Structure 1
Amino acid sequence: MWIPVTVRVEDHVIVPDLDYGNIENPDQFLEDYTSSVANTPMDMSKPLWEFHLLNIKRSNAESVVLARIHHSIGDGMSLMSLLVACSRKTSDPDALVSATTTASTKPVDYMALTWWLIAGFWFMIRVTFTTLIEFSKLMLTICFVRDTKTPLMGNPEDGIKSWKVIHRVISFDDVKLVKNAMNVKVNDVLLGMTQADGHTKAQKKQILDKIRVRGAVAINLRPATNIEELADMMAKGSKCRWGNFIGTIIFPIWIKSENDPLEYVRRAKATMDRKKISLEAFIFYGIIKFTLKFFGGKALNLHFISYVNKIIINLAVDTTTIPDPHQLCDDMVESLKMIKYAAMERKSRKMEV
């Protein structure tokens, strides 16, 4: 329940006393510090938010602010809006950071209203048919069909014992190169990169062909996908939705050995195009607690965050199940290289023709 309390800033803004001069590897230090914070329970006797200020220079940042905020304080979108509202531009300290650009609305051609109705009716038939198929697959997954037992699968009864949080930075330009060459979306490339195994050998092909691995992909169910201005969200009569509104789809991960690395991206796009038409994410939103009861805890959480010309891969793993998460990052980076070179080769062949 919400109760009024007195907030002591020093209890929430933490500036650790560190010997910065003796930190040989700042990136590794931050990784260990973040993992330590992730494994420390929050103090429930005070408001559940804290900021850790680390004046440590890393390979891609001059200093670090680590925010840990309990989900009862707010959902991800509103918290991101709050953090953006608290930030200022380095070029103009008094100016707010520019918010994400909103998508432009295309005018409706009312002269073609009849065709719109026909297309809408056909779309409803596709949605109904695809939803029935995907929902049937979902229920089979929950009740009967289990993933193949692999080292990546933890024991749900053991729970999460020790979190390890790491990240890796890749070039957004590399991802966009593949996106443009294959006429797909950025998320299709990232899912394809996740599925591809950068060091798969030919002798493993028969083993991989028999393995069933599936992941849960979060889907934003909000009408607007951009980060809203905090002032707009708080305005009276605002249509910006507060609270969590995230669905989940079951995504079959294609880990079979392919001679053409681009095949992983093609399969990711085909799967996501089918999932987007269905209402699986909305249905799963309503029964997610029931589903998680069967699936148990997750051994691996994977997030992609785009920022300017970079994409940050964030991994949160249970180290008792995945002792070397850096190898997973290395494999994904290698997979992106393979896919990128294959896309460049395909593009050059088209230009020659």
Structure 2
Amino acid sequence: MDNQYTNNVENLDDETRPPVSPISQSLHSSILSLIIFTVFELETPITELEIVGLFQRAYATTKHSWRKCIRWRKVVTRVEDHLIVPTFPLGLARETYDEYLREYLSRIGCVNFSEDKPLWELHLVKYPSLNGACSLIFKPSHAIGDGYSLVSLFCKIFQRADHPSLPFTFPQMSLKKQGDGKRTVIGMGNKMLGFMGKCVNTISDLIESSLRATFLEDRRSAIRSKAWTNAKIELFRPFNIYSVTLSLKRVKQVKTKLGATVNDVITGLLSYIIHLYTLRKANVGDGLTADSINSKMTLLVMSNMRVFDGFTNIEDMITEIAWGNRSRAMFAKLPTFNNAEKVSPVDFIIEAKEIMDRKKNSMLLYFIDKVLNIAFRIKGQKGMDEMIYSSFRNTSTSISSVIGPKEKIAICNHPVNGVYFFVSGIPQSLTFTSVSCMEQLKLVVKMEKGFIDSKLFGSCMDEAFDNIFRAAFEDNQDKDDQ
């Protein structure tokens, strides 16, 4: 629904420019407004002049800076008008500045965009944190683009720290499944049974998506506030941010050991984190039992539809003009177990793999745009806004993942220690994002203040992957030794 709206628009006037797609309009509306925050942790300080010059060149490179105004409209952009430099007290410790940074992210994450200028901002925090000498924050509306829109932009204007003149490279992975071409009688029979199973799964997923987008919702739990089970409430609620950085090599070792994918490992990991949190939350009271708060939780998985646009690898995907939003939602149950106290950490990844394999054996994503188009014709833009809002509100949590380059990033010759992103405005108490970049996997959680115990949840995140890794390898080694 989006690519047709954002390509080949350079020579059109305001009256003939293509309209903003219904999806993008829904992501910046009176009902729902999603904002992406990408945070770059730099090793050395960077100046305002360097930032302004960099993004002015980015404007010249991309040749457009679109403003969402029913139709995509080209505007003249002054980077200085979008750059904000906060002031913190001087002479504080890095740990204190790290807290200031988190509070600042929460504060700007609760502020929507002004309608009198394009929907993006830059924030330069010139104070050291635990992970860098300063932080650069890019804040665009999700209506303008999705994660791969941003990856495309960053790869055009940033450079490799090791060889600035060389392009970034990405993990070699196929975005399309390839068949083996065998046509034996038994093979054809298996294919027929497989196709029938896929059709059943597709129908089931279409029904579930329709129900989730209207009235079917999760119950209250340790991660789902009672407020979200009532009528619509204020979207921009104060939050805490916490992150863990994992070695991508270790993640891939677990992936290979369990016959899973990196996304399966991420899904299993966040399920296990929630499991630890709910058990410990139940142990301290709060009137909830472990069984009741750890059952029937639905994960909303954001999938990028660019993989269905004919691309065969990530490099090709990000070199295209990628503006407009191509994210779509898929619903999956979080792994649950009857004997919650004794379950092995690796069981969460094994169960997550089974759940996601079942979701992959469905044609939902091929039909989802057609379904949305029908819904838009029947219910109009306001109805579309309500459906997308309900898809988030009716589920317990969500995950959005992006794959970045393998090489270390530099911004104006300033090396980047780490990069992560999160999304504000989602009507959920707990949301996850992950980015695989520079041979690291960064998992970030955004937690509603006053409801999620951020210290307890953070401690669960700190230990979760080590528990999984140890269960996958060390426990097996112990058995072998016996």
- The normalised TM-score by structure 2 is 0.61
Partner SS, residue 158 of structure 1: coil
1:328 maps to 2:424: no
Partner SS, residue 223 of structure 2: coil
Label 1:122 to 1:61 Cα distance change in 2 as closer, same or farther (>3 A): farther
Matched with 1:198 is 276
Aligned match of 1:270 in 322, 332, 354? 354
Matched with 1:310 is 440
Can you list the C-alpha shifts for 1:240-288, whole angstroms capped at 9, x where unaligned?
x653222222221234415222211111111000011112344555447
Can you list the C-alpha shifts for 1:112-141, whole angstroms capped at 9, x where unaligned?
466886665444222112222333444555
Matched with 1:183 is 259
**Which residue type is aligned with residue 332 of structure 1?**
M
Distance of 1:99 and 1:13 partners within structure 2:
30
Distance of 2:211 and 2:80 partners within structure 1:
51
Matched with 1:159 is 234
Matched with 1:238 is none
Distance of 1:7 and 1:185 partners within structure 2:
41
Distance of 1:250 and 1:218 partners within structure 2:
9
**Which residue type is aligned with residue 276 of structure 2?**
G
Conservation of the 8 A alpha-carbon contact between 1:317 and 1:325: yes
Aligned match of 1:209 in 257, 275, 291? 291
Partner SS, residue 302 of structure 1: strand
Distance of 2:457 and 2:282 partners within structure 1:
20
Matched with 2:326 is 245
Can you list the C-alpha shifts for 1:63-94, whole angstroms capped at 9, x where unaligned?
3211011234333312221112110223344x
Label 1:183 to 1:161 Cα distance change in 2 as closer, same or farther (>3 A): same
Distance of 1:203 and 1:293 partners within structure 2:
30
Label 1:101 to 1:187 Cα distance change in 2 as closer, same or farther (>3 A): closer
Can you list the C-alpha shifts for 1:156-183, whole angstroms capped at 9, x where unaligned?
4223242325131232244233222212
Distance of 1:245 and 1:5 partners within structure 2:
23
Show structure 2 runs of 5+ residues with no match: 1-68, 373-383, 394-426
Aligned match of 2:320 in 196, 214, 233? 233
Aligned match of 2:467 in 314, 338, 345? 338
Conservation of the 8 A alpha-carbon contact between 1:84 and 1:99: no
Distance of 2:252 and 2:118 partners within structure 1:
41
User: Which piece of structure 1 moves more, 261-270 or 52-61?
Assistant: 52-61
Label 1:309 to 1:20 Cα distance change in 2 as closer, same or farther (>3 A): farther
Distance of 1:92 and 1:71 partners within structure 2:
32
Give the C-alpha shift of residue 24 in structure 1. Answer: 4.4
Conservation of the 8 A alpha-carbon contact between 1:168 and 1:312: yes
Conservation of the 8 A alpha-carbon contact between 1:216 and 1:249: yes
Aligned match of 2:137 in 57, 66, 77? 66
Label 1:98 to 1:349 Cα distance change in 2 as closer, same or farther (>3 A): same
Conservation of the 8 A alpha-carbon contact between 1:169 and 1:313: yes
Partner SS, residue 159 of structure 2: coil
Label 1:16 to 1:201 Cα distance change in 2 as closer, same or farther (>3 A): closer
Distance of 1:127 and 1:107 partners within structure 2:
16
Partner SS, residue 22 of structure 1: coil
Partner SS, residue 168 of structure 2: coil
Label 1:48 to 1:201 Cα distance change in 2 as closer, same or farther (>3 A): closer
**Which residue type is aligned with residue 216 of structure 1?**
L
Label 1:217 to 1:326 Cα distance change in 2 as closer, same or farther (>3 A): farther
Show structure 1 runs of 5+ residues with no match: 235-240
Conservation of the 8 A alpha-carbon contact between 2:213 and 2:388: no
Conservation of the 8 A alpha-carbon contact between 1:165 and 1:316: yes
User: Which piece of structure 1 moves more, 245-254 or 292-301?
Assistant: 292-301
Matched with 1:221 is 305
User: Which piece of structure 1 moves more, 172-181 or 101-110?
Assistant: 101-110
Aligned match of 1:170 in 235, 239, 245? 245
Conservation of the 8 A alpha-carbon contact between 1:52 and 1:67: yes
* C-alpha RMSD over aligned residues: 3.4
Can you list the C-alpha shifts for 1:291-326, whole angstroms capped at 9, x where unaligned?
43545322222101122232212222332443x334
Matched with 2:91 is 21
Conservation of the 8 A alpha-carbon contact between 2:242 and 2:445: yes
Label 1:225 to 1:264 Cα distance change in 2 as closer, same or farther (>3 A): farther
Distance of 1:126 and 1:217 partners within structure 2:
22
Partner SS, residue 150 of structure 2: helix
Count of matched residue pairs: 343
The aligned runs of 1:131-170 (5 Å cut-off) are 131-139=202-210, 141=212, 145-154=216-225, 155-156=227-228, 157-170=232-245
Distance of 2:90 and 2:363 partners within structure 1:
51
Conservation of the 8 A alpha-carbon contact between 2:124 and 2:136: yes
**Which residue type is aligned with residue 50 of structure 1?**
E
Matched with 1:237 is none
Label 1:222 to 1:230 Cα distance change in 2 as closer, same or farther (>3 A): closer
User: Which piece of structure 1 moves more, 224-233 or 3-12?
Assistant: 224-233
Partner SS, residue 463 of structure 2: helix
Distance of 2:281 and 2:76 partners within structure 1:
63
User: Which piece of structure 1 moves more, 149-158 or 297-306?
Assistant: 149-158
